[in-house]
Structure 1
Amino acid sequence: MKRNIKNTYIWLTLIVCMTVFLSSCNEDFLDVTTTDRISDDAITSDSSLFEDYVINRYMGVKLQDKEAEGTNPGFGRGFEYALWGSITDEAIYNSDDNTWAIHRGLLSPEATGIAGTLWSRSYRSIRECNYALQIIENVPMSASRKQMLIAELKFIRAFRYHDLIRNYGTVVLMGDKVYYLSDNLTDESLFKRSTIAEGITYVVSQLEEAAAGLPASNTSAWPLGRATKGAALALKSRLLLYAASPLYGASSWETAAKAAKDVMDLGSYSLHNNYQSLFLTPSSNEIIFERLYVIGARHVCLEISNGANGYGGWAGNTPLQNLVDSYEVVEDENTAVPFDWNNSAHASKPYTDRDPRFYATILYNGATYRDRQVETFTPGGQDSKDGKDNWNTSKTGYYLRKFIDEKLPINNPWDVAGTQPWIYMRYAEILLNYAEAQNEAAGPDASVYSAINQIRSRAGMPDLPIGLSQSAMRTAIQRERQVELAFEEHRFYDVRRWKIAMDTENQPAYGITITKNADGTFAYTRKVALDGRKFEEKHYWLPIPLAEIQASNGKLQQSPNY
């Protein structure tokens, strides 16, 4: 086995059958040697074992059903059943997977759906990092290696705090203390939630310390799977962009722009030459931080879990018409315009001349896929309710293409899947971070245009028109993030931090009905794919699960208005 963050982990908590010895036929007790855990002494006396412990902090534990089947979840849900995009206007999960209640505004401390594990998993990981930082001085290894691992632990801990802040806003800052069940938990500071500004300040300082101690690159066989200086600075860029946004109001746009520029100035990253193949290429120079999987290690396989029913797939994360409509129509090499259902040319041929990222992200009626064209039309479409396995027919009329490797099988994929990376951070995000922050700080100057147009050019899109106002550029950047970063766990947080979720998340969850006419043409009718979609002001932040409030004897303050 390799010591890495792949699914072939070295388990530090081994599940082993305990061997019981009777000390004497005449003695009436058992002398039991526990073998279900590794002692502190073992970890502190073995530098390789300690490093394995650090590596495993990139993962968590399975805390609810259908969460990282066969594996342990990482920093994001990744390739699990329901992607985070399926609780946004990007998609719905075809068979619910605890997502529909969130779409319908039914999120509560008692019913958190797929969002219910973030609090407990994050704090568990923070405690594990604190434990490692507490004992590392006792580990026999070189001072330089210790400093690198300390920096790595600070990065992991900061990532967990960043996940808490972007979901709950105000969080409890634990410092370096390791709490035990035997501790006196009457200390009020244990349950005091910081302000957003305090949380941001703390995590940014941790990332700066991590960046100072992390290598520019890793020399292992999976160099992008462990923290680097670039990863720490990229996470700092993301967090400071959030901090400057209307929902947070905890930092300045100038500070956010500089943080993104610091990553750009490293000169270590560039855009991959092909948008679609990027998500199948673990070694791309665009990737700043990723998670890798291993062939043969069972986990949720994208091809079958998201495939169309006519191919034997389960539909899974099915894109909404809301997302489809956000991809521009290319009129000529210099001009792209928003798609408009009121434009007869658009409405009659809705999948013609769209932003190339549409074709790389979404399977639609007529798309060439594997050995045929996708058929979501009725009557008779192979990927419609008239096709086989019709219980897996998409409710939206679309299927997911992004991340899918067509060389991998849909049927019986279990021992061959796992070649795609799950990308946590990539260079295009940094360019988008910079463009947004710089536009808000100084208006749409040449550097803003340059950052956005690099991304559009890679995608095969025309440059943005010159002379945009700050407001028009803001709209363009928001659309660019929507289509460039689709299904990468950004949309949920973007619409909240921009404070536009009351609009975007109260729009119906639209799909499409496609009817094949007798002459072979198609008629397109928008439909509501999931009814009752609703968002309230309180949903800008997640509720802390009720069990966590109860465990604190009511001392932990709930998120506002829950």
Structure 2
Amino acid sequence: MKKIFLSIILILFLGVYSCSEDFTVNPRLNVEDLETYFLEEDNVETAIIGIYDLMQYNYGRDWHSAFLVKLLPGDDSNAAGGNSEDQGQLQNIDDYANVSSSNVSIASVWDLFYRTIALSNLVIENIKDSSLSNKDKALAEAKFMRAWSYMELTTMFGDIPLRLTVPTGAEEFGIAKSSRADVYAQIKLDLTDAIASLPEKSALSDNFRVSKGTAQALMGKVLVFQEKYSEAIPYFQSVINNPSHDLETDPGDVWSISNEFGKESLFEIGFVSTTARDWGNIAWGGRNESNLHIQLMGPRGDGIFDLTGTGLINGWGFNLPTNKLATAFDTAGDVKRKAATLMTENELIAAGGKVDATAASGGVIWDYEGAIRIKYATKSEDTSSGGVRELNYSTNFRLFRYAEVLLLAAEAYNKAGGQDAAARAELNKVRNRAGLVDIDVTTSGNALFEAIVNEKYLELAHEGQRFWDLVRWGKASTELAGTGYSSTNDLFPIPITEIDKNSELTVADQNPGY
């Protein structure tokens, strides 16, 4: 996908819902009149592309990405890096320690989701009564993006401000928190409209865009998170019965750059390797069309990991697998999917590489538990076109994929009652792709649910789902025992910048424990 940067005209509106000084103090300059801007179909299209661009920025922003912030509380990943002080705000999230309302990575994620909502609201308000030929599709995409953003926010923060209009001045910025139930209700309204007007995946004009199936799948996920399992099932069935959606043949195919925006992808953030970034023009803290996180998460160099024979290139060492995850693969006899997810030290040595702990600070490789990650790895196949090699990876982030839909459907069938055969059928599709046999036909009830839980741990490892599933299942205190976790960590703190700027919030509105 060739990404298109939003024009300066619309970028000036992106701070509308964030807690920046720009909104409350500095006047906007060189702003085109909204009464005329959205009269042009091309301008509406530019605004929609801008929403996708904000998503890319949020999930791929240097040290503050939504990808890492969602991932690190789980028991599938360790923060790693060079030492315990390397990007301390991420180490704190990973270790459940000293997580505060001033954590800059958490604040960035909050801010950028609300900026995405702001632009979505701007589009919705200005075209809802228009006669433009692309109005319905544009409204559907904007409402999906608003729904996605609110789903991510309420999952991580609980009760949050529900912003659905564009404020005309600083005095309208203040807004109280809405309950998670009210947030879910708005998400479902937006997704209902999105489902009605989005095209099928097979009819998309651009492969990076969301489809009707994407919105149906998200609706099902929202309903499962609300424990409305019977209501979720028809949405999952619509996706499963659509021939445009399917599993890739092999687990490793999911993560290959040759299969980006493939049949398994429902929502994917695109990156390119053609912008020739180097140490002089890389936009630290800003926007890059390359995926800097692939380098950030590659096995650390400095003589620590010798990757000979692996097809991998050294990176900066963040996001290392836990021993618990590696053991879970071995316990399940899961060879194929394990190979697409991680590599143990013994496997690294067998390939021709080695590990030298003496090269690490103090002779200890921080957060290393005996494995390196293969999923989202620094693969030599991902070549760059100019610039510095490690700054120009193009690997896309797969945010929502068909395998997750199958596992959510299995959970819904199981929890709805009396439909365990259907649950096993969806679960087996994921297991079979991983090279595992069908689950025993006598497995039912809670035993089947536990099998789904374990399958999801293996299938979605390092994708940012694990921790939030443990919380909603009531399993976090058991699965994370001895890690420093407490129930306070079930939600992130509302950023102090929001409380300081939002006149309808006080410290009493902060999430419990912060």
Normalized against structure 2, the TM-score is what?
0.80
Asked whether 1:178 is paired with 2:166, we answer: yes
Counterpart residue number, 2:346: 366
**Residues 84 and 459 of structure 1, relative CA distance in 2, 3 Å threshold:** same
For 1:291, the equivalent position in structure 2 comes to 269
Residue 282 (structure 1) aligns with:
260
Give the match for residue 423 of structure 2. 448
Q: Say what the alpha-carbon RMSD is for the aligned residues.
A: 3.3
State the alpha-carbon separation in 2 of the partners of residues 269 and 10 from structure 1: 30
Alignment of 1:53-202 (within 5 A): 53-60=47-54, 68-69=61-62, 77-78=66-67, 82=68, 84-95=70-81, 96-97=86-87, 98-112=89-103, 114-136=105-127, 141-142=132-133, 145-175=134-164, 177-184=165-172, 190-191=175-176, 193-202=177-186
| CA positional deviation for 1:393 | 7.0
Residues 69, 299 of structure 1: 8 Å contact kept: no
* Structure 2 residue 512 is matched with structure 1 residue 560: yes
Which secondary structure does the structure 1 equivalent of 2:249 belong to?
A: coil
Structure 2 runs not aligned, ≥5 long: 13-27, 276-289, 308-313
State the AA in 1 paired with 2:236.
Answer: A
Residues 444/299 of structure 1: CA separation in 2 closer, same or farther (3 Å cut) = same
Matched, 1:40 2:34: yes
The residue matched to 2:320 in structure 1 has which SS?
strand
Residue 16 of structure 2 corresponds to none
Deviation at 1:482, TM superposition (A): 0.4
1:256–1:220: structure 2 CA closer, same or farther, 3 Å change rule? Answer: closer
Q: Which runs of 4 or more aligned residues in structure 1 lie more than 6 Å from their structure 2 counterparts after TM superposition?
A: 61-64, 387-394
Q: Check the 8 A contact 2:251/2:340 in 1, yes or no.
A: yes
Contact 2:295 2:316 in 1 (8 A): no
Judging changes above 3 Å, is the alpha-carbon distance between structure 1 residues 374 and 133 closer, same or farther for their aligned structure 2 residues?
A: same
Deviation at 1:262, TM superposition (A): 2.8
Output the CA distance in 2 between the equivalents of 1:14 and 1:392. Answer: 45
Query: Which of 241, 256, 263 in structure 1 is aligned with 2:232?
Result: 256
Contact 2:74 2:464 in 1 (8 A): no
Segment drifting more, 227-236 vs 108-117: 108-117
Whichever structure has more helix as a proportion of its residues is 2
For residue 257 of structure 1, report the CA deviation from its aligned partner: 2.8
Answering whether residue 294 of structure 2 is matched by residue 302 of structure 1, we say yes
Q: Which residue of 2 aligns with 1:385?
A: 358
Distance 2:128 2:415 in 1: 45
**Conserved 8 A contact 2:195-2:216:** yes
SS in 1 for 2:92: helix
Q: Equivalent residue of 2:399, what SS?
A: strand
C-alpha separation in 2, matches of 1:196 and 1:393: 37
Whole-Å Cα distance in 1 between the matches of residues 170 and 420 of structure 2?
58
* Matched residue, 1:406: 380
Structure with higher Rg: it is: 1
Mind listing any 5+ residue stretches in structure 1 that lack a counterpart? 17-33, 245-251, 330-336, 338-352, 508-532
Deviation, 1:284, is 1.9
82-91 or 50-59: bigger deviation: 82-91
For residues 257-283 of structure 1, give each alpha carbon's deviation from its aligned partner in whole angstroms, at most 9, with x where no partner exists: 333223223333111101112112114
* CA distance in 2: counterparts of 1:107 and 1:63, whole angstroms: 26
| Equivalent position of 1:233 in the other structure | 216
Instruction: Tell me what 1:551 maps to.
Output: 501
Q: How big is the shift at 1:444?
A: 6.0
Aligned mates of 1:303, 1:55 — CA distance in 2: 26
Q: Secondary structure at the match of 2:403?
A: helix
**Aligned partner of residue 329 in structure 2, secondary structure:** coil
Question: Quick one: structure 1 residues 185 and 68, their matched pair in 2 at CA, closer, same or farther if it must change by over 3 Å?
Answer: closer
> Do structure 1's residue 213 and structure 2's residue 197 form an aligned pair?
yes
Q: Residue in 1 aligned with 2:329?
A: 327
Amino acid at match of 2:188: V
Q: Which amino acid aligns with 1:282?
A: E
Q: Which has the higher contact order (CA 8 A, sep 6+)?
A: 2
Aligned mates of 1:135, 1:395 — CA distance in 2: 51
TM normalised by structure 1 equals 0.74
1:150-196: per-residue Cα shift (whole Å, max 9, x none)? Answer: 11111111111111211122222233x2113344567xxx21x2332
C-alpha distance in 1 between matches for 2:300 and 2:491: 34
Q: Which one-letter code corresponds to 2:79 in the other structure?
A: Y
- Cα distance in 1, alignment partners of residues 362 and 339 from structure 2: 25
Of residues 483, 488, 491 in structure 2, which corresponds to 1:541? 491
Q: 1:54–1:388: structure 2 CA closer, same or farther, 3 Å change rule?
A: same
